[in-house]
Amino acid sequence: MKLKDLQALRAKALDEATEAVDSGDMETYKAKYEEAESYLAQINALNDLEQAKNINTVVDFNVMPGSESKKEVQNELKAFANYMRSGEVSAAMVEKTDEDGGYIVPEDISMKINEYKRNFESLENLVNVEPVRRPKGSRLYEKLGDMTPFVAVEEMGEIPEIDGPKFERIVYDIKNYAGILPMSNDLIQDSDENVIDYAARWGARKSVVTRNSLILNVIKTLSAVTLKTTDDIKKAMNVTLDPLFLTTSVIVTNQDGFNYLDTLKDKDGKYLMQPLVTDPSKQQIFGKEVKVIGNKFLPSEGTVAPLIIGDLKEAVTLFDRQQQSILTTNVGGKAFTRNSTDMRFIEREDVKLVDKAAVVYGKLDTAVIETV
């Protein structure tokens, strides 16, 4: 049996053991745990055999003391680049395949992907991101908008019981999100650094677009508020939105909505949209920073543009499995017919709306630009 098959079977057995514990079935738990241990023994045996086959490794006596960790990183990156070219798993990578048969992206490359993600307008930075280790689970959230104040008490008076915190159980279910990157054979034969850099940039763009879409989709499940004038926008911020979130709120809209806000003028002909004092590269209106998402990913409905106002860290949680993986082939799918190497990239996450009171989903009529 292949290593990846054993790893998949072990992961399945551990999941079943966990479910058995949750349901109080200790007999099933014991059986599944022992099953997982037997798979682990087989996995360790295969790893030992693989290491034994590669025991005649050339020792580099030019490596300075204390530089082993750096060299290990370089070896891992080289192994990763070679894997992208050939799809062959080396001994250094044998413990890093996932249950889907892919190779888990090394930490250094994940950091490079995250670095490139900063170059794009990512809503992930605005929401609450919670790393998780299990594919399914639940969390209890106390809604800030439902909090009640303490009660005034007279001297020597009895302190009444106050409402306890109101919690809501949010269930997450991690899903795989995947894409295929065809790479020409000219690119594949380029330097390790260029091959990795190309894949990292592509992975970053796809990750930002995917997570933006998931975040926007949960917000759009809210009942929409009609916005026809700047007074409507201010009312959404001042009245519809809970004031607890007002100081931490931002505005998210598409290109049409941004263009509408950007062309609003006062009676003296001055634009209302102004650069942030703390960061002139960013824009603000009515004291709120404005984030722009492309029309392609956040479309308008005719002349009506989406306008989201709120504290997205309180409103939305992204459950991040923190496990990106790739699998390459030059014979499967369309790779053989177009003489390319195809890379399958998978990341794992789920997004949930946690507190509806923390965000307003508005629909802004951009047909008429008013003077304020």
Read off the pLDDT of residues 320-357 as tens digits, 9 standing for 90 and up.
987 777 777 777 677 667 777 788 888 999 999 999 99
Q: Is the pLDDT of residue 237 over 90?
A: yes
Question: pLDDT at position 250, please?
Answer: 96
DSSP state of 269: S
Residue 77 pLDDT grade (very low, low, confident, very high; cuts 50, 70, 90): low
Q: Is the pLDDT of residue 62 over 50?
A: no
For the chain, the average pLDDT equals 80
Give me the mean pLDDT over the 204-217 stretch.
92
More confident residue, 148 or 256: 256
Alpha carbon 125 to its chain centroid, in Å, reads: 9
Give me the mean pLDDT over the 210-225 stretch.
95
CA-nearest of 226, 249, 236 to 305 is: 226
Residue 372 pLDDT grade (very low, low, confident, very high; cuts 50, 70, 90): low
CA-nearest of 268, 272, 300, 317 to 128 is: 317
Question: pLDDT at position 103, please?
Answer: 56
Gap between the Cα atoms of 43 and 251, Å rounded: 51
Give me the mean pLDDT over the 6-21 stretch.
79
Question: pLDDT at position 261, please?
Answer: 96
The number of C-alpha atoms within 13 Å of 67 and in the hemisphere containing its C-beta is: 9
Identify whether the C-beta of residue 183 lies closer than 8 Å to the C-beta of residue 342: yes
More confident residue, 371 or 326: 326
User: Tokens in use for 174?
Assistant: 């991690």
Question: pLDDT at position 50, please?
Answer: 60
Amino acid in position 371: T
Lowest mean pLDDT among 38-47, 157-166, 315-324: 157-166
Residue 145 pLDDT grade (very low, low, confident, very high; cuts 50, 70, 90): low
More confident residue, 283 or 196: 283
More confident residue, 261 or 155: 261
Identify whether the C-beta of residue 219 lies closer than 8 Å to the C-beta of residue 270: no
Q: How far is CA 278 from CA 249, 265, 272, 284, 288, in A?
A: 16, 22, 17, 11, 13
42-46, 116-120, 133-137, 359-363, range with greatest mean pLDDT: 359-363
Supply φ then ψ for residue 329, to 5 degrees.
Answer: -155, 150
User: Tokens in use for 2?
Assistant: 């292949």
Identify whether the C-beta of residue 338 lies closer than 8 Å to the C-beta of residue 207: no
Question: pLDDT at position 52, please?
Answer: 56
Which helix (H) or strand (E) segment holds residue 226: the answer is strand 225-227
Q: Is the pLDDT of residue 277 over 90?
A: no
Lowest mean pLDDT among 42-56, 213-227, 251-265, 319-333: 42-56
Burial annotation 270-282 (CB, 10 A radius, 16+ → b, else e): eeebeeeeeeeee
Question: pLDDT at position 65, please?
Answer: 42
Three-state SS for 141-187 is EECHHHCCCCCCCCCCCCCCCCCCCCEEEEEEECEEEEEEEEEEHHH
DSSP state of 323: -
Question: pLDDT at position 234, please?
Answer: 95
124-138, 149-163, 296-310, range with greatest mean pLDDT: 296-310
User: Tokens in use for 244?
Assistant: 């607890």
Q: Is the pLDDT of residue 63 over 50?
A: no
Residue 216 pLDDT grade (very low, low, confident, very high; cuts 50, 70, 90): very high
Any idea which residue has 């929401």 for tokens? Answer: 127
CA-nearest of 318, 1, 283, 323 to 129 is: 318
The percent of residues above 70 in pLDDT, for the chain, comes to: 76
Residue 69 pLDDT grade (very low, low, confident, very high; cuts 50, 70, 90): low
Within 10 angstroms of residue 24's Cβ, the number of other Cβ atoms is 8
Question: pLDDT at position 67, please?
Answer: 44
Q: Is the pLDDT of residue 271 over 80?
A: yes
Specify the 3-state DSSP secondary structure of 358.
Answer: helix
Q: Is the pLDDT of residue 20 over 90?
A: no
Give me the mean pLDDT over the 132-144 stretch.
82
Q: What Rg, from alpha-carbon coordinates, does the chain have?
A: 26
Can you say whether residue 302 is alpha, beta or left, with left for phi > 0 and alpha for psi between -120 and 50 degrees?
Answer: left
Specify the 3-state DSSP secondary structure of 139.
Answer: strand
Per-residue DSSP letters for 36-101?
Answer: HHHHHHHHHHHHHHHHHHT--PPP-TTPPTT-HHHHHHHHHHHHHHHHHHH-PPPGGGGGGB-TTS
